[in-house]
């Protein structure tokens, strides 16, 4: 990594939701700021700015991360996926997003993008995650509207539908 000066902006190149992007950022610029203000990817929400609430969760090289704790320069050369990247195609919800809609797993929706990104990573890594494991993964997310019951119903439904789709693909 080149030596960075604190007051100059430097190029940051990474893949965002499957497409290469280039932006400029000061070394102290957070990934949340680059995503929201520099690239217009406003699905990543900023809540506590301390990594506690989970609203800013994205995937960096396939792993969930709190974007409010990551400097933009740290993702140079990496792949970043935000909630906008969950859509299988433009205008079509993913199985996970659809389950949240169906079960009213969101109310104000502020925490939802981070929760969706965490669950997406969990279900890719552990397709058969049980309820306790799902609850454990979601324990780092704060939601003030739903009481978590609809979120859990949506998560369990999405897990089951994703597994059913995998079984159907295997037998096709």
pLDDT digits (tens, 9 = 90+) for 4-33: 667 789 999 999 999 999 999 999 999 999
- Nearest residue to 64 via CA among 10, 138, 168: 138
pTM value? 0.91
Beta carbons of 61 and 67 less than 8 angstroms apart: no
Work out the angle between the directed axes of helices 95-102 and 112-125 (0-180°, nearest 10).
Answer: 130
Beta carbons of 25 and 12 less than 8 angstroms apart: yes
What is the distance between the alpha carbons of residues 102 and 149, in angstroms, rounded to a whole number? Answer: 13
At 80 the three-state DSSP class reads: strand
Retrieve residue 134's tokens: 């799902």
What is the C-alpha R_g of the chain? Answer: 17
Residue 1 has pLDDT above 60, yes or no: no
**pLDDT confidence band for 2 (50 / 70 / 90):** low
How far apart CA 69 and CA 90 sit, in angstroms, is 29
| Integer Cα distance of 32 and 46 in angstroms | 7
């Amino acid at each position: 990594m080149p030596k960075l000066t604190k007051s100059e902006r430097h190029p940051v190149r990474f893949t965002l939701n499957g497409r290469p992007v280039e932006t400029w950022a000061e070394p102290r610029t957070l990934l949340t700021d680059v995503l929201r203000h520099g690239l217009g990817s406003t699905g990543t929400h900023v809540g506590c700015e301390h990594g506690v609430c989970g609203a800013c969760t994205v995937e960096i090289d396939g792993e969930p991360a709190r974007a409010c704790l990551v400097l933009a320069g740290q993702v140079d050369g990496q792949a970043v996926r935000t909630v906008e990247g969950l859509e299988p195609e433009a205008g079509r919800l993913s199985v996970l997003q659809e389950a949240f809609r169906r079960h009213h797993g969101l109310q104000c929706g502020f925490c939802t993008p981070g929760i969706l990104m965490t669950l997406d990573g969990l279900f890719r890594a552990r397709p058969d995650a049980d309820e306790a494991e799902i609850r454990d993964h979601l324990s780092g997310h704060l939601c003030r509207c739903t009481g978590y019951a609809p979120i859990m119903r949506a998560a369990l439904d999405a897990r089951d539908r994703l597994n059913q789709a995998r079984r159907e693909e295997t037998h096709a």
